[in-house]
Structure 1
Amino acid sequence: MLARVSKLRHYSIRALDGAIGGVVNVFFDDQTWTVRYFVVETGDWLRRRRVLISPIAVTAVDEGAHTVTMELTRSQIAGSPRVETDMPLSRQMELKYRDYFSWPLYWTDTYLRAYGAGIQSHRPRVVVNKPRVSREVRREPLLKRMPNIDPHLRSAGKVIGYAVIGSDLPAGRLDDVIIDSSGWAIRSLIVHADAAPHARVLLDPRLVVEIKWPTSSIIVRASRKEVASLPTYQAGDVGHVTLHRS
């Protein structure tokens, strides 16, 4: 299923044993262009506490009913560590949260390449005649080499509305984000093009050079004219969007 982030905000989240709440935001990685967390506001059963849920837990998406089903129970959600759902998230907070749900560390491969540090594989392996060492101790060398805040983790709710800056001039404004639920990849960015004020265009996320939080801007490798000449987006029409992956 292809869906805009603005549409996903109207989806409800169901656990194995009942409703959890509704999606209020999406956190994504602007390096891999992949969804990392749903920000879910729970119902009155958990005093509307906001929680983070990884797409790893998704078992089904019902577009007609606007629901996402998770392989979690309400008690698991209720017992999860409290976490700030506003950006930025600390790495230690993410580790604690993902350990609770037994979710893998999504940044492993990236930081193995970037920092050359070792980390335990998620594939089973046999260790002979070695004392057990806690996950926290095993991760210490890696964590010391990593920034405390993941610079590539972004809030869709915040970046929607950011100015899109072309290679020569301001080119438009981010209007929405299109997500593919089959792999939770970001397929396209919907941009209001300044040079074509009545048109929304589909921007390949690979054209993004940088997202700048201090200036609320998205820098792209395309001129103002090139952005305006991108394929146009018609409201509700996501079926023709092609996956922007090499």
Structure 2
Amino acid sequence: MAQRKRLSGAQTSSQAKRPSGSQAAPEDEDDQTFTLPSSSQVLRGMESLAPGQLEQKTAEVVQYFLVKDQKKFAIRRADIVKHVLKEQRNIYPEVMRRAAATFQQVFGLKLVEIEQKNHLYILINSLEPSAAAPPSSSTNPKTGLLFVVLGLIFMKGGVARENVVWSTLKKLRIDPREKHEEFGDVRKLLTEEFVRQRYLEYIRIPHTDPVEFEFGWGQRAEYEVSKPRILSFMGELHQQDPQTWSQQYREAHSSSSSTPSPSPSQR
């Protein structure tokens, strides 16, 4: 995927708001003041807790993630410490370890750190095969639209210019200039909501005048979405055997073995 400058607040042609997940500097400074406690500090922190307090804090962190995950937002370590753990920040590693185990055992979810620099976390479905399967007609229509765009990006080699995406959607009778009865504001959905949820990247193309953008797969999509299933979905959409796209077929089946391994982080 092209490693071009990721979209920031005032860079879109429509002056879109900055996607959450790329937070403002004051909030980032909150995380810079937090130093991961040593094992001895964690032990002392746990010893100072009242009976049941560790379990209570773990439950609060789990609830915090589940609420945020309803909108598929990435969660920052700084926000967990600031809004949930507060003065009990020394038990952060133990609470995260227990929360990760709860997500896995109770909900079939994996807690994944997608950005080590900014300490951003997401929840992904660890249950196969439904977790990464293309949507059926009975699922959320927005998910179906997302798979169409992800499929287009994949077929185009990892990035798709914005005008190509809009042109493709128009062929499906989805006009980004008009409000859609199921998707609402399609342009906003793709360039803001899916970007904020880390399903898509909306990338400014350097040295273009007027300014142009392209779409790429976001970090959440890389973890959650199976490329072989995306290719199968595109085959069904175009009524074509996926193996006829030999290059994409090889990439899909070679990349399926090298998908990022989702492992909980306690950083």
- TM-score, normalising length: structure 2: 0.26
Give the number of the structure whose residues are more often helix, by fraction: 2
Point out the structure with max Rg over C-alpha.
2
- TM-score, normalising length: structure 1: 0.28
Give the number of the structure whose residues are more often strand, by fraction: 1
